[in-house]
A = this chain, B = another copy of it.
């Protein structure tokens, strides 16, 4: 956490993920924490701000979320592509020291239980809205966004500023295998 870690008003928090970036999900329960990557996260509502995220039954992080009812969605950057791929292709079920091996750098925020991933462009702290049928039948989880923050070098005053930050700050959009696209050029319609 540094001077660039700035709060984002909840009414504009949807903008942090509206462009469909690949995200990292972090959670903790009874002293056990984990971070995973997910391509399937999406805005759901503006006020109260909500989002959806798809978490496979095989995901270790899913259990932590089901048990604790909380998670953080963060928007990683192009500089973190290797980390994102690692966290998305290794499970803590098989690799107990996954976080250590991944090299992920975590930090904490007062009154927020899940760890946050350092170096990301944005963070959304969510409370799970438990909906058993969605979770069981579709692996679909709904979160209400309770707090949001962004790195002010790339998101400030409610807007992304990718064009002014270095290319390493671009967010990631996963396709398959080892293939991502970064967020590209700003386009403003008439």
Q: Which residues of A are interface residues toward B (Cβ below 8 A)?
A: 12, 15, 18-22, 39-45, 50, 52, 54, 78, 81-82, 85, 131, 133-134, 138-140, 142, 158-160, 162, 167, 170, 172-176, 178-190
Contact partner of A40 (CB less than 8 A), chosen from B43, B170, B185, is B43
Taken together, the copies of this chain in the complex come to: 2
Query: Which B residue's beta carbon lies closest to that of A129?
Result: B138
Write the nearest CB–CB distance from A11 to chain B, whole angstroms.
11
Contact partner of A82 (CB less than 8 A), chosen from B22, B159, B170, B189, is B189
Contact partner of A78 (CB less than 8 A), chosen from B167, B179, B187, is B187
Residues of B within 8 A of A174 (CB): 18-19
Pairwise interchain contact A42-B45, C-beta atoms closer than 8 A: no
Residues of B within 8 A of A131 (CB): 133
Q: What are 13 A-B pairs at a CB distance below 8 A? A: A18-B175, A19-B173, A19-B181, A20-B22, A39-B43, A52-B52, A78-B187, A160-B175, A170-B185, A178-B189, A179-B188, A180-B186, A180-B188
